[in-house]
């Protein structure tokens, strides 16, 4: 669509819309932003991302970006109760805050990473054993990166997030190529496939929950599939060589 067409359908002047594209300091109401989102046929993740960037606050339904200093004990007990399904808790910057025993068996390096590297995005892009573990790594990594951008839009000025992006840009050619593409995506339930060195080929349904009491945190659970024995085979491997 031409700029003039977008402006006409969104009900704004071409000059105002041009200034918006140029990033000039103009006021844009939520109603106008919603009209632009509809005109551009943005999906839900893209609409939320637009509102977050424009209003400097999380869009409706995105949740707060604050989190408690320590992992709530209730969430630790929750992921423990999810066994034998691998599960973990992520902080606002996608740092690993807690994980259960099956998750440590699925990805043993999680117990060995230093604090700066104990982050899901760092693991996906910069930790070699994770790349070997995940089947269809490129597709999964690209999707996770788009979800990370959407999920951390409210932290775009956060020094820790910016430092993570800088380190990943230097460490991963794929990250350096994909991050400037500005892709965003809403989380979707999907099947994750793994090539585990001890337990063999594994398949889990990837689910994500947001605790209402701690909306800055995420609980991620990888559920066993009906009729599949991946969880049992993973549980049978009890020692790390």
Query: DSSP letter string over the chain?
Result: --HHHHHHHHTS-HHHHHHHHHT-S----HHHHHHHHHHTT--HHHHHHHHHHHHTSPPTTT------SS--HHHHHHHHHTTTS-EEEE-TT-BEEEE-HHHHHHSGGGGT--GGG-BHHHHHHH-HHHHHHBTTHHHHHHHHHHHHHHHTGGGTT-HHHHHHHHHHHHH-HHHHHHGGG--------EEEEEEETTTEEEEEEEEEE--SS-TT-EEEEEEEPTT--HHHHHHH-----
Mean pLDDT computed over 61-82: 79
Mean pLDDT of the residues in the chain: 89
CA distances (Å), 31 to each of 15, 35, 44, 214, in order?
18, 6, 15, 29
Distance, in Å, from the CA atom of 34 to the CA atom of 50, rounded to the nearest integer, reads: 9
Reported confidence tier of residue 31, pLDDT bands at 50, 70, 90: confident
Distance, in Å, from the CA atom of 59 to the CA atom of 33, rounded to the nearest integer, reads: 12
Output the pLDDT for position 9.
Answer: 85
Output the pLDDT for position 16.
Answer: 86
Output the pLDDT for position 56.
Answer: 61
| Terminal alpha carbon distance of the chain | 58
Q: Which of 108, 106, 109, 72 is nearest to 86 (CA)?
A: 106
Structure tokens at 123: 């693991």
Domain ranges of the chain: 3-41, 73-236
Output the pLDDT for position 11.
Answer: 86
Reported confidence tier of residue 121, pLDDT bands at 50, 70, 90: very high
Which is more confidently placed, 220 or 29? 220
Distance, in Å, from the CA atom of 88 to the CA atom of 130, rounded to the nearest integer, reads: 16
Output the pLDDT for position 59.
Answer: 46
Reported confidence tier of residue 238, pLDDT bands at 50, 70, 90: low
Reported confidence tier of residue 67, pLDDT bands at 50, 70, 90: low
Reported confidence tier of residue 166, pLDDT bands at 50, 70, 90: very high
Output the pLDDT for position 6.
Answer: 85
73-236 has which CATH code?
A: 3.30.450.180
Mean pLDDT computed over 67-75: 86
Output the pLDDT for position 80.
Answer: 98
Which is more confidently placed, 69 or 17? 17
Mean pLDDT computed over 188-204: 95
- At what angle are helices 137-151 and 44-55 packed, to 10 degrees? 40
Mean pLDDT computed over 121-144: 96
Output the pLDDT for position 66.
Answer: 56
* Percent of the chain whose predicted confidence (pLDDT) is above 70: 93
């Amino acid at each position: 669509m031409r700029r003039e067409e977008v402006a006409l359908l969104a009900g704004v002047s071409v000059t105002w819309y041009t200034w918006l594209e140029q990033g000039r300091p103009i006021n844009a109401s939520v109603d106008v932003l919603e009209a632009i989102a509809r005109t551009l046929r943005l999906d839900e993740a893209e609409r939320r991302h637009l509102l977050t960037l424009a209003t400097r606050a999380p869009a409706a339904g995105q949740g707060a970006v604050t989190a408690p200093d320590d992992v709530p004990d209730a969430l630790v007990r929750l992921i423990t109760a999810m066994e034998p399904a691998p599960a973990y808790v992520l902080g606002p910057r996608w740092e690993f805050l807690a994980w259960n025993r099956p998750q440590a068996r699925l990805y043993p390096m999680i117990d060995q990473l230093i604090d700066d590297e104990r982050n899901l995005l760092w693991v996906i892009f910069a930790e070699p054993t994770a790349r070997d573990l995940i089947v269809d790594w490129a597709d999964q990594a690209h999707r996770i990166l788009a979800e990370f951008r959407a999920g951390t839009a409210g932290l775009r000025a956060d020094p820790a997030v910016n430092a993570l992006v800088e380190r990943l840009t230097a460490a991963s050619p794929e990250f350096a190529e994909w991050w400037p593409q500005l892709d965003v995506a809403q989380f979707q339930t999907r099947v994750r496939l793994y090539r585990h060195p001890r337990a063999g080929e594994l398949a889990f349904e990837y689910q994500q929950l947001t605790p209402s009491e701690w909306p800055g945190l995420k609980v991620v659970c990888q559920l066993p599939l009906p009729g599949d024995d991946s969880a049992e085979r993973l549980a049978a491997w009890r020692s790390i060589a």
